Structure 1
Amino acid sequence: MTEKRAAPDQRARFEALARIVVDPLHRYLLRRAEPDQVDDVLSETLLVLWRRIDDVPGLDTEDIPDPDAVLPWCYGVARGCLANARRADRRRRSLLERLSTWRTESPEPADPDHTALHAALAQLRSLDREIVLLWAYEELTPSRIAEVTGLSANAVSIRLHRAKKKLAARLERKTGAPPGHETTEGTQGTQGTEGNGRSSR
């Protein structure tokens, strides 16, 4: 019975809080976040407030919350959520930058939604995709990735190398690079080496 009573009480307290803080938090984020981040960060902030409703100072179950009592703490939550969103955005940009080093052609016009990248990642096996993301987003070394995945460091290195090659090839096809571009270059390099009478190793 206690838990049944607690749920409606939590909902009532959250709704009372939300009526006070949503507009100020929205204005707070508008002045600090990128326009396309505002709604997502606000939603995340409200989710945190819901989960931590008992931690909000100055929140009374019976009276209308005092904005001066609750807003500073809620601003702090919004600030933390915005910082998390910015870190995630930096990781996405880092992934794109690192992936671009595998490309043999100059990139085509910008893909603002990164649909080609997401499509290429989606075609990888789940474990290979996780390895790439740990390498690119979390910037882990193969030995650290091995700790996360339970693989050996050597196995991680091999999987990462193969996954990067697959991604590069798929991104080339998406942006219209000439088919067989890399293969042609590799063949020419090999023929030149053999012509000089030297082993390629």
Structure 2
Amino acid sequence: MSSPSARARFEETVRLVVDPVRRYLWRRADPATAEDVLSETLIVLWRRHERMPADAEVVAWAIGVARLQLANANRAQRRRDRLVAKITVLDPPAAFVAEHSGPVDEEVRAILAGLRTADAEVLRLWAWDELAPREIAIVLGTTVNAATVRLHRARRRFEGEWRKTHPGSGHIETREGDEP
């Protein structure tokens, strides 16, 4: 955009296309993706301003650019989804499932899912990965003291949630020595 007239033309183009392109994208994607793709579309329009068609065709041209940008965003999302599927344990070995399944395991997973992400992660590192607080500190990039405190607090929160569904587990109050 070297000349003021080119800049003015681009600004006028943006005023013409932004609402139709946004409507197009919002009908085809979630709001966050739609806004990201709208931004990418405007960048493409900025870079290709000298190739923009006449005013009557500019809205359709911009929607065509948005369509291609949305296809790019969808492809990128599919690649991210495939990568996540590869690096997560979607189908654990049968021996692991046999050893680590049952009603208690499902309850533990449910409670972990309900905890804050940071609490669930520190508990998984400690219980599932069998890491000591010193090792947890390395994984989390914190001090041993901070990891120890986080683990202690996470265990208390987990225990509180566990007791909601298992009120009789843990310490049982006795009346030994009390007179009837």
What TM-score, normalized to structure 1?
0.47
The alignment status of 1:52 with 2:48, answered yes or no, reads yes
**Equivalent-residue separation in structure 1 for 2:86 and 2:14 (angstroms):** 41
- Matched residue, 2:113: 109
- Matched residue, 1:157: none
Residues 65-84 of structure 1 deviation map (CA, whole Å, 9 limit, x = unaligned): 33xx2122111100011011
Instruction: List alignment gaps of at least 5 residues for structure 1.
Output: 59-64, 117-172, 185-201
**Equivalent-residue separation in structure 2 for 1:176 and 1:99 (angstroms):** 20
Higher relative contact order (CA 8 A, sep 6+): 1
Aligned pair partner of 1:33 in 7, 26, 29: 29
**What secondary structure, in the 3-state scheme, does the structure 2 residue paired with 1:177 have?**
helix
**Equivalent-residue separation in structure 1 for 2:50 and 2:32 (angstroms):** 30
User: AA paired with 1:83?
Assistant: A
TM alignment of 1:41-190, pairs within 5 A: 41-58=37-54, 65-66=55-56, 69-101=57-89, 109=113, 174=121, 176-177=123-124, 179=126, 181=128
In structure 2, relative to structure 1, the CA distance for the partners of 1:178 and 1:56 (3 Å cut) is: closer
**Equivalent-residue separation in structure 2 for 1:180 and 1:109 (angstroms):** 15
Aligned pair partner of 2:14 in 15, 18, 28: 18
Larger CA Rg, structure 1 vs 2: 2
- RMSD after superposition: 3.3
User: AA paired with 2:39?
Assistant: S
**What secondary structure, in the 3-state scheme, does the structure 2 residue paired with 1:33 have?**
coil
Aligned-residue sequence identity (percent) comes to 44
**Equivalent-residue separation in structure 1 for 2:3 and 2:79 (angstroms):** 37
In structure 2, relative to structure 1, the CA distance for the partners of 1:19 and 1:182 (3 Å cut) is: closer
**Equivalent-residue separation in structure 2 for 1:17 and 1:80 (angstroms):** 19
- Give 4+ residue runs of structure 1 displaced > 6 Å after superposition: 102-107
Deviation at 1:35, TM superposition (A): 2.1
Instruction: List alignment gaps of at least 5 residues for structure 2.
Output: 101-108, 132-180
**Equivalent-residue separation in structure 1 for 2:67 and 2:75 (angstroms):** 12
**Equivalent-residue separation in structure 1 for 2:60 and 2:122 (angstroms):** 48
Deviation at 1:87, TM superposition (A): 1.2
**What secondary structure, in the 3-state scheme, does the structure 2 residue paired with 1:74 have?**
helix
Name the count of aligned residue pairs: 113
**What secondary structure, in the 3-state scheme, does the structure 2 residue paired with 1:57 have?**
coil
Deviation at 1:44, TM superposition (A): 0.6
In structure 2, relative to structure 1, the CA distance for the partners of 1:109 and 1:87 (3 Å cut) is: farther
